[in-house]
Amino acid sequence: MKRLGLALALIGLAVPEAAMAQQRACITAPEAEAMTLVAMPDILRETGRVCAARLPANSLIRGNGTLIAKYETAAEQAWPAARAAIVKLSDPTVDTLLQSDFARPLLTSLLVPFIVGRIGLEDCGVIDRLATQLAPLPPRNMASVVVTALQYLKSEKARGRQVAVPDLPLCPIGTR
């Protein structure tokens, strides 16, 4: 019951404040990369689950092997920076709640379906191919590729182009 109360308090504090903060703050590329790294193991797992029927059993994205383990280690290391970025977008009082061992899994469980839910089954092959091509990169480089792509797509959307990219509070390219 105590965990449920913490979860509800976390959600209650973070969501309204984050919406207001998005109007006045943005997260830099390094902050976004840390947040990406924290979510990446769960994104990979869920993508593998969603795409299981479309990919061969030996595809990298379906496996629970060393790729996910590599990202779990990076996620652990990135959590303090990601937590600071979340606090930046919301309210300093949220930091106390985010120090709980329960906070990170709760946040990723809310975020991952939002991201993976956008995957079309017809895209699973391309996603697996990209994951395979990018797998040799260190996790931080992979997160940088993801964030740079999102920043580019966001800038294209701002120019009026039809781009399906979530409205994330990313600072413009070049902002540190």
Determine the pLDDT at residue 64. 62
pLDDT band at 175 (very low <50, low <70, confident <90, very high): low
Helix H or strand E segment including 9: helix 2-22
Task: Express each pLDDT in 28-59 by its tens digit.
Answer: 999 999 999 999 999 999 998 899 989 888 88
| Amino acid identity for residue 107 in this structure | L
Report the C-alpha gap between 147 and 153 in whole angstroms.
10
Model pLDDT, residue 108 = 86
What's the pLDDT tens digit per position in 52-107? 989 888 888 887 677 888 899 999 999 999 989 988 888 788 878 888 878 888 88
- Report H helices in 23-138: 29-50, 66-89, 94-98, 103-116, 124-134
To 10 degrees, what angle do helices 66-89 and 103-116 make? 100
Query: What pLDDT shows up at residue 35?
Result: 92
Mean pLDDT, the chain, rounded, equals: 80
Confidence (pLDDT) at 82: 92
Paired residues of 27 in beta bridges: 170
